[in-house]
Each structure stands twice: as structure tokens, then as C-alpha cells.
Amino acid sequence: MSLLILFLKAPLKGQVKTRLAKSLGPYKALAIYRACIKVSARRFSDLAHLWVAYTPEGSLQLFLPLLPSPSPLFVLQQGEHLGKRMKNAFAHAFDQGHSKVLLVGGDVPDLPAPLIQEAFCALDQSDAVFVPTKDGGYCLVGASPSTDLSALFNTHTWSHSGVMAETLERARLNKMGIQMLSFWEDLDTLETCKAFVHRQKNVPEYAELCRLINGDGDGLRDDAHGCADEDEAPRP
């Protein structure tokens, strides 16, 4: 069975979307993240069997108002760093009998359905599949039970421009078959938020998120009072 795991951090002010908060402020960044979760969970639950992998422990109640009914299965992220948590999420899914698993972050709400289906199909022939981002990371990773998860996630350093390149090098050294799909962007910066609004402003499904990004109709603008939390969980 195919599975999509939505990998989320608790929606708390100052602890999510901290790169975005440096420009828009922590309250607006939090509102955007919450809206991303709502749209992502609704869309992805229509495309595949869905789990929500969340962190930290004890934060489950924060997600419930944002998710469709009936709620997807919740699993707690396990591990001391992002790579370990992703590896453990995949391993748990395989232990439960899933044959193809995709892991997606909560900040790519308009990740195209055809791209998701292409990622599932890629696992018929490859050990792993990625949707890269232009900042050197990735917003989707997929694997199957035969995949060497340690080769993909055996690093403690994340959230830098060399994540994708380092992952591909580890895969090459371990003779893994990798498919790279088309680039997509997460909502991490003013630039990517502007691009999102440009392509989705006339799509009703994204109306709330576009409204939040645009504020009171004045467009995106810097918030001089924005203060980022340096302890944001790293992302792929």
C-alpha cells in the first residue's frame, strides 16, 4: 500500500517558519504555517493514505483543529535530529506493511498531484525519489522497503544549501538508484510566498492562504518587529 507522510512541527509562535518570520513577523508566519497545514492535509488525504508525523511530544491537540475529519493517523516523530526522525518514520511505515512511502513537509501546500503520483511511480524502478528545491534542499523524499535509509539520512547537519548534493553523494557511494523530479518550492521566504500567490491567487482552494500572505491587501511587506527563533527544526 502507498502512503504519504505529512511531516509537521507543532504550530507555535516563534518556533515555525522562522526564516519567514524575519520578514513578516512571528504571528503572520504562524498563521501562514497553520493555513499550510490545513490545505496540505486536505489535499494530500485525497491523493493517498495519509499519516501525520508530528513533534514535539504532547503537542497533538494543536493539530486537531487544522486537519480534515476523520483525522489521519498520528505518529510521533522519534529521533534526536531530523535525519533520524525521517529514517524512523519510513521504517515504521514499512513495518506497518506500506510498500511505497513519500514524506512531505507542511509548507508545500500546492505540491502538484501529478508530481506526487510521479514520485510514487518512480519507486517502481528506483531506490529513492526526490522533489528538489532551488535552495539546495528537497521538499519530498520517497523510499521503499528495500531502500538503504541510513544512506539517505545519515547526517546531523540540515538546513543548508548542500543538503541535496550531500544526499546524492551518499546515495552514489552506496550505489543507490535515485530519481530527481521537477523542482518545487516551499513557503520559506518572501520570494517563494510571492510566487505562490502569483500562481494560485485565482484558485478558491488557496484563497485563505493567499489572503494571509497578502495581509490587508497591501501585498507582502516586511515587519520591523519580526523576531525569529533560532531553534526552528531543520528541514530537508
Model-level pTM?
0.89
Distance CA 234, CA 221 (A): 25
State the pLDDT at residue 47.
Answer: 93
What order do you get walking across the sheet with 73-76 strand by strand? 73-76, 49-55, 2-9, 100-105, 138-143, 128-132, 178-180
Average confidence score pLDDT of the chain? 89
| SS3 of residue 2 by DSSP | strand
pLDDT, tens digit (0-9, with 9 covering 90-100), for 74-133: 999 999 889 999 999 999 999 999 999 999 999 999 999 999 999 999 999 999 999 999
Contact 236, 168 (CB under 8 A): no
Contact 87, 79 (CB under 8 A): yes
What are the grid coordinates assigned to 209, written together?
492562504
State the pLDDT at residue 87.
Answer: 95
pLDDT, tens digit (0-9, with 9 covering 90-100), for 49-62: 999 999 999 999 99
The domain in which residue 191 lies consists of 2-214
CATH of the domain at 114: 3.90.550.10
Once rounded to an integer, what is the mean pLDDT over residues 137-155? 91
Within a domain: 230: no
State the pLDDT at residue 215.
Answer: 83
State the pLDDT at residue 217.
Answer: 39
Within a domain: 119: yes
Beta-bridge mates of residue 115: none
pLDDT, tens digit (0-9, with 9 covering 90-100), for 18-60: 989 999 999 999 999 999 999 999 999 999 999 999 999 999 9
Distance CA 111, CA 116 (A): 7
Within a domain: 222: no
Within a domain: 219: no
Within a domain: 223: no
| Count of domains observed in the chain | 1
pLDDT, tens digit (0-9, with 9 covering 90-100), for 165-175: 999 999 999 99
